[in-house]
A and B are shown apart, each in its own frame.
Chain A
Amino acid sequence: DTGVSQDPRHKITKRGQNVTFRCDPISEHNRLYWYRQTLGQGPEFLTYFQNEAQLEKSRLLSDRFSAERPKGSFSTLEIQRTEQGDSAMYLCASSSRDRGSSSYEQYFGPGTRLTVT
């Protein structure tokens, strides 16, 4: 198992363009989370999926943001009409119930760094 992977690792785009990021979770992890992290801050929750169902969305996730997880495997996060304030690291994490406990420990990917010029 190679862990959570994210693609691309870096993205530079001009304001107003659309961008799409991909996350491949650890195989058989049924939960997948998206976070946004800006410099000097901790990750901010954006949304989470259990299998293919999107179960919770943050108010941070404006109507320009959309996330999907078709077939409960990889996930995509799309930002439409990007703004300079969207510049951040976008992190994906996956989890599965830990055997013998009630916990869902998260494992993070390396992130996609977005720069909007």
Chain B
Amino acid sequence: QKEVEQDPGPLSVPEGAIVSLNCTYSNSAFQYFMWYRQYSRKGPELLMYTYSSGNKEDGRFTAQVDKSSKYISLFIRDSQPSDSATYLCAMSQNFNKFYFGSGTKLNVKP
């Protein structure tokens, strides 16, 4: 079993839709949770970082962590074509080693 599971998609939505991206994990020791966006043939770009359980909002993006269910989510409101990319979740126990999901490919249609 992989440490982090993520639905690869692809996920196709119309412009303006609310997008929900999710990951599950198996290691209850993870405390730090991150979402990255990766465009084709580029390095990942950090979008959101959350410590432990709870919600965090940044503009159109909201990250949620439910440690009891080992489940994290990223919501994108008012999605734009420029949001089309692969979204990667990542998590770590102590910032020494990071575990990434396989990524969900998102396509926002104009």
Contact = CB atoms under 8 A, between A and B. Distances in A.
A56 B43 contact: no
What is the size category of the interface that chain B forms with chain A?
20 to 34
B17 to A, nearest CB: 24
Given A40-B8, A42-B101, A42-B103, A106 B96 contact: no
A107 to B, nearest CB: 7
A8 to B, nearest CB: 14
Tell me the dominant secondary structure on chain B's binding face.
strand
A48 interface: yes
Nearest to B50: A103
Interface in B41-89: 41-46, 49, 51, 88
B72 to A, nearest CB: 14
Interface of A: 4, 31, 33, 35, 40-45, 48, 55-56, 58, 91, 93, 95, 101-111, 113
Given A43-B44, A45-B97, A58-B97, 8 more contacts: A42-B88, A42-B103, A105-B46, A105-B49, A106-B46, A110-B42, A111-B41, A113-B41
Interface of B: 4, 6, 8, 32, 34, 36, 41-46, 49, 51, 88, 90, 95-103
